Structure 1
Amino acid sequence: MRTGNEPVTARSPLRLRFWLSLWGMVWAAAGAAAFALAGRPGWAAACAALVVLAGVDLAVVVRHIRQGPHYQPGRDVPPYEPPRQGS
C-alpha cells in the first residue's frame, strides 16, 4: 500500500541480486562437480538443486531488468486512503 512517505530515489536491488545469483550458480555448480567426483551423490544432488534454483532466480531477475522501469506516481499524486475498519 502506498502511504506517501516512500523515498524519492528508491532503487530496486536487481543488479545486486543478478550478481549474487550468478555467484551462487558458479559455486553450486563447482560444488556439484566436486561432490560428484568425490563419490558423494547426495551432496552433488543438493548442489545441483541449488544450481537450478539460482538459475530460476537469475532468469526472473533478467526478465525484470529487461522490463525496464515501471510507472511510479510522482509527488503530486496523493497517498491512497487507508482501508476503513468495519462500516
Structure 2
Amino acid sequence: MVESGWDTVLKEAKDAKIPVILTDRAIDSPDTSLYKTFIGSDFIEEGKKAGDWLVKEYASSTDPVNIVELQGTTGSAPPTTG
C-alpha cells in the first residue's frame, strides 16, 4: 500500500463533502483535515506489549531464550490480505 500521494484525491473528496475514514493504513499527508479519522493498529505499541510479555514470561528462566525477529522492508506499510 502506498502511503503518499493521496492529497489530491482526498482534497477532491473533502471539496465534495465526502467524509473519508482511513482503515488499517495510515497516510503520510501533513494535512489531517483531509480525513475524519484513522482506525487501525498501533504496531509500535503491539511490539512493546510483545516485549513486555516476553520479559514477564521468561523472567525466572535460567535457560537461554532465542528470539528471531522477521522484518519486511523498512518503512513499508503492512500488506493487505485478499
- Fold shared, TM-score > 0.5 on shorter chain: no
Q: Which has the higher strand share?
A: 2
| Structure with greater contact order relative to length (CA < 8 Å, sep ≥ 6) | 1
- What TM-score, normalized by structure 1, do the two folds share? 0.28
